[in-house]
Amino acid sequence: MEEHNDNEQRDARSENISEKSPLTHRGYARKRGLLRNLLLSGIFGFAGGVLALLALPTLQNHLYIPFTKQSTPQSLNQTQKSATSKDSVLPEDSAVIATVDKASPAVVSVVISQDVPKLQRSLNTPFGFPFFMMPQQNNQGGDTNGGGSDTTAPTEKQTIGQGSGFIVSADGVIVTNKHVVESATAEYTVITTDGKEFKAKVLARDPNRDIAVLKIDAKDLPFLEFGNSDEIKVGQTVVAIGNSLGEFSNTVSKGIISGLKRDLVAGSDAGGSEHLSNIIQTDAAINPGNSGGPLLDISGKVIGVNVAMAQGAQSIGFSLPANQIKKIIDQVQSTGKITTAFLGVRYILLTPEIQKANSLPMDHGALILRGDKMTDFAVIPGSPADKAGLMENDIILEIGGVKIDSDHQISDLVADHQPGDTLQFSVWHKGETKTITVTLAEKK
Cα separation, 347 vs 368, in Å, equals 4
- Tell me if residue 194 is catalytic: no
The string over 373-411, giving b where at least 16 C-beta atoms fall within 10 Å of a residue's C-beta and e elsewhere, is eeeebbbeeebbbbebebeeebbbbbbeeeebeeeebbb
The active-site residue out of 206, 210, 394, 412 is 210
Q: Which residues pair with 117 in a beta bridge?
A: 155
**Apex CA 306: angle with CA 109 and CA 188, to 5°?**
30
- Tell me if residue 408 is catalytic: no
The active-site residue out of 109, 179, 253, 297 is 179
Radius of gyration from C-alpha coordinates of the chain:
38
**Alpha helices in 88-180, H assignment, sequence order:** 91-103
- In eight-state DSSP terms, residue 135 is P
3-state secondary structure of 179: helix
- Tell me if residue 426 is catalytic: no
Query: Do 194 and 249 meet the contact criterion of CB atoms below 8 Å apart?
Result: no
Proportion of the chain in helix, strand, coil states, percent, rounded to 5 = 25, 35, 40
Cα separation, 193 vs 172, in Å, equals 14
Give the containing element (helix H, strand E) for 46: helix 26-60
Cα separation, 129 vs 283, in Å, equals 23
The active-site residue out of 291, 319, 383, 426 is 291
Cα separation, 358 vs 360, in Å, equals 5
Beta-carbon contacts of 436 under 8 Å, excluding residues fewer than 6 positions away, are: 388, 389, 390, 424, 425, 427
Active-site positions read: 179, 210, 291
